[in-house]
Structure 1
Amino acid sequence: MRRLSFRDERWPLREAFVISRGAKTEAHVVVAEIADGEHVGRGEAVPYPRYGEDAEGVLAEIAAVRGAIETGAGREVLQGLMPAGAARNALDCALWDLEAKRAGVRAWTLAGRERLDPVKTCYTISLGSPEEMAAAARLHARRPMLKLKVGGPDDLDRVEAVRGAAPRARLVVDANEGLTFDDLRRLAPELARLDVQLVEQPLPAAEDQALEGWASPVPLCADESLHTRAELADCARRYACVNIKLDKAGGLTEALALAAEARGLGLELMVGCMVATSLAMAPALLVAQGARVVDLDGPLLLARDREPGLPITGSLIEPPPPELWG
C-alpha cells in the first residue's frame, strides 16, 4: 500500500522579490511524497495568495484525498478529485515521479518524448526604481533574456533604464495586472521602440476583455487570465501567447494538455513558475520544450537550492537528475 506524506518548507531568497502586488523574502512551498515500497515520488507546489491559497489550506486539501492516493488513485483520477491549483500540482507531480521510478524510465518518456533538451530561462528583475532596476540588469546583462517587473507611474523610465544597462538582452515586461488599458495603450508603442519581446498580463484578469479587437504593437501574454484549458478560448481572442504554470494548471498532466491545445489554437507558449526550488521547476521542463519564452528562474532567486538541484549554468537549465525528479 502507498504512503502519502506532505509538509510545508520555507526557503530564503537572495534578496526581496518585488512585484506590483507586494514583496516576499522567502519561498513558502508545499512538498508531497508518495512512497510505494522502495520507490518515492515527490512533487513541490507554491500556494499563491492571489488565488486564495495558503500553505495551511493546501496541506488540508492534500490531507482530504489521502485515502484515495494511498489506495492507488492515479493521475487521471486525480484530475476529477481536486480542482486545479497548488495542492493538485504537488500530488500530480509526485505521481509522475513515482510512475517513472517504478517503470525504470524518465518522466519525459512517459510523456511521449525521446529526450529532454536544455532550455534557457529568463532572469527576473524585481520592481524598483529605474536606478535600482538598471543596477540589477547591469549585473545580469550577459543573460539572453531578462524579465522586468513593472506596474507603476515610472514604468517607461524603468524599461529605458534596463535597456540601457543591458542593450543586448531580450526583454519581457511583466505587469502582474498592474496597468490600466489607457496605461497599456500609452506604453505599448514605447515598449516596441525599446524592442520589448512580450508584455505579460498587463491588465487585471477580470478586465482583459478590453484587449479584444486591439492590435498591440508588442505581443501580449496571458498569465493570471489563464489557468487551465477552460480559459483558452477567451485568451485566444485577447493574447498572442499564454503563460503556463504548473501551480495554476494543477500539475503536469493538465499543463501538457493545455500546451497542446494552446498550440492548436495558434497561441505561442511561455512556461513560467512561482518562486520555488528545483523540485518545482523540473516537471515544468517537459512543458517548456519549444516554448517561445521559458521563465523557470526560481532556483536562481534562492539563497540556496535543494540538493541535488537542477544543473544550471548561467541561464541554461539541463534536464533534472533522477535523484531530484522524474
Structure 2
Amino acid sequence: MRLTIEAKHETLPLAQTFAISRGAKTQADVVVVTVTNGEFTGWGESVPYARYDQSIEDTLNKIKCTKPAIKHIDDHRRLNAILPACAARNALDCALWDLKSKIENKPVAQLIDLQEVKSCVTAQTVSVASTQEMQKNARALCNSELIKVKLDPDDVIEKVSAIHEVCPDSRFIIDANEGWNLSLLKEVAPQLARLNVALIEQPLPADDDEGLTDYQCPVPLCADESCHTTASLKQLVGKYQAINIKLDKTGGLTEARSLMKAARLYELDIMVGCMVASSLAMAPAYLLAGGADYVDLDGPVLVAEDRQNGFIIENGIMKRPDSLLWGSGR
C-alpha cells in the first residue's frame, strides 16, 4: 500500500511556566506526523529537545528525507535502521503504530504485546521556583500519591522540607536535570531519604557521572539524560538503580519496549517519562505503564489546552477515556 506522510510544527501554550535547572518555558514546540494509506490515518507527536541538539527544523527535515523509504505500516525496524533515536523517529514510529491499529482494528497494546492499562498513578510536577512558590504549588497537589519536584542546586533541603510539610503523605521524585555535583548529592541524599523521597533522577551531568560508580546512595538513583536506548544500559549498571524511558529518547515505542525488557534483565527499576507535550505524545508511552515502577506522564495537565479525547488526570490518577485519541483501533 502507498503511504503518504506529512509533518508539521505545532505550538502548545502551557498552563503555567515550566522551569527546570536548565531554564524555563511557556510553550511546548512539538512535531505532529500523520501517515495515511488513503483510507485510514495514523498520527504521532514528538518533542525535539535542544539538550540533544535537536530542533523543529532539523526534525522536519529528517522526516522529509525519510519519507521515501517508508512504504509499509510494519516498517518500524527499517525506520530504526535509517534514523538514529530522535524526535523525528519517535513521531514516525508512533504514527505507523496508530495507522496499523486502525487498519487492523486492534489496539496497539495487542499488536505489540503490551498490557492494556485503564488507569495508573502518575507523578505530577512542581517546577523550580522560590521555596514559597514551590510550597504553594505543591499544596494544590497534596492529594497526589507521587510528586516530581524539579530542583536546581539551591536550597535543596529547604525546598523539599517545605513541600513535605504540605504533602506529608506523598512520595517524591527529585529531578535535578543534571544540575548537581557529587558533593551536593552526598550531602543532601541522607536527608532526602527521610523526607519521603523515593527516587533521585539524574543528579549529575550525563557525561560526568562516573562518580556514581559503586556509590551507595540512600535513595535510588534514576538515569534520564544518561539513558536513551538499549545500547545505553550496560554503562549504567553500578551507577543507577532505575532508568527513565522516554519515547523521544528511544526514538519511538518500538525501541522503548525493547529497552524496558532489557532493563529488567539488568534488574533496573523503570520509570516511564515524557517531555512536555499533549495526550497524543503520552498515549504510546502509557502502554508501558503496566510494566513500570514509576509513571511520569503528566503532560496533559501542563499544557493549557489538551487534545480532544485525551487523558483524564485527577489527584495523580491517570485514566484513559473510552475513546483514546491514539492507538485504540477504529
Q: TM tier, shorter chain? A: over 0.9
Shift of residue 307, structure 1, vs aligned partner? 1.1
Q: How does 1:153-192 map to 2 (within 5 A)?
A: 153-192=154-193
Do the aligned partners of 1:124 and 1:149 also contact (CA within 8 Å) in 2?
A: yes
Q: 1:72 to 1:124 in 2, by over 3 A?
A: closer
Give a deviation string over 1:136-161, Cα, whole Å, max 9, x none. 01111111111000112211111111
Kindly indicate whether the alpha-carbon contact (under 8 Å) linking 1:30 and 1:44 is maintained by their aligned counterparts in 2.
yes
The answer to whether structure 1 residue 300 and structure 2 residue 301 are counterparts is yes
Structure 1: state its 5+ residue gaps: none
Distance 1:158 1:322 in 2: 40
The offset of 1:205, in angstroms, is 0.4
Q: Distance in 1 between matches of 2:229 and 2:144?
A: 31
2:7 and 2:227 map into 1 onto residues whose CA distance is 27
Q: CA deviation at 1:177?
A: 0.3
Query: Contact conserved, 2:73 with 2:99, CA < 8 A, in 1?
Result: no
- 1:201 aligned residue: 202
Deviation track 1:68-94 (CA, whole Å, cap 9, x = no partner) reads 125667111111010001000000000
Match of 1:86 in 2: 87
Provide the rounded CA distance (Å) in 1 between the counterparts of 2:220 and 2:108: 33
Written as runs of structure 1 = structure 2, the 5 A alignment for 1:30-69 is 30-69=31-70
Give CA-to-partner distance per residue, 1:219-276, whole Å, 9 cap, x none.
Answer: 0000000000111011122101000000000000000000000011100000100000
Q: Distance in 2 between matches of 1:119 and 1:2?
A: 35
SS in 2 for 1:210: helix
Number of aligned residue pairs: 326
What residue number does 1:24 align with? 25
Report the equivalent of 1:253: 254
Percent identity between matched residues is: 46
1:3 pairs with 2:34: no
Q: Which moved more, 1:307-316 or 1:272-281?
A: 307-316
**What root-mean-square deviation, in Å, do the aligned CA atoms of Structure 1 and Structure 2 show?**
1.3
Instruction: Decide whether the 8 Å contact of 1:310 with 1:321 is kept in 2.
Output: no
What is the alpha-carbon distance in structure 2 between the residues aligned to residue 312 and residue 145 of structure 1? 13
2:268 and 2:181 map into 1 onto residues whose CA distance is: 23
Counterpart code for 1:21: R
Does the aligned pair in 1 maintain the 2:73–2:97 contact within 8 Å?
no
Query: How has the CA–CA distance of structure 1 residues 296 and 163 changed in structure 2, closer, same or farther, with 3 Å as cutoff?
Result: same
User: 2:141, 2:315 within 8 Å by CA — same for their partners in 1?
Assistant: no
Question: Which residue in the other structure is 1:281 paired with?
Answer: 282
Q: Within 1, Cα distance between the matches of 2:75 and 2:94?
A: 11
Q: Does the CA-based 8 Å contact 2:73-2:96 persist in structure 1?
A: no
Q: Give distance in 2, aligned partners of 1:47 and 1:200.
A: 21
Q: Which runs of 5+ in 2 are unaligned?
A: none
Residue 323 of structure 1 deviates from its aligned partner by 5.5
**Contact between 1:312 and 1:318, CA under 8 Å: does it hold in 2?**
yes
Q: TM-score, normalised by structure 1?
A: 0.97
Q: Which residue of 2 aligns with 1:268?
A: 269
Q: Give the C-alpha shift of residue 321 in structure 1.
A: 5.2
Residues in 1 aligned to 2:57 and 2:282: alpha-carbon distance in whole angstroms: 22
Q: Kindly provide the CA deviation profile for residues 101-144 of structure 1, in whole angstroms up to 9, marking residues without a partner as x.
A: 11110000001136334211100000011111000011111111
On the 8 A contact 2:309/2:323 being kept in 1, the answer is no
Partners of 1:22 and 1:199 in 2: CA distance: 19
The answer to whether the 8 A contact 1:108-1:116 is kept is no
Change (3 A) 1:265 1:320: farther
1: CA distance, partners of 2:208 / 2:243: 16
Q: Classify 1:100/1:165 alpha carbon distance in 2 versus 1 (closer, same or farther; 3 Å).
A: same
User: Partner of 2:70: helix, strand, or coil?
Assistant: helix
Matched, 1:228 2:254: no
Cα distance in 2 for residues equivalent to 1:135 and 1:319: 29
Structure 2 CA distance for aligned equivalents of residues 62 and 322 of structure 1: 28
Aligned counterparts of 1:18 and 1:207: Cα–Cα separation in 2: 23
Q: Is the 8 A contact 2:146 2:172 kept in 1?
A: yes
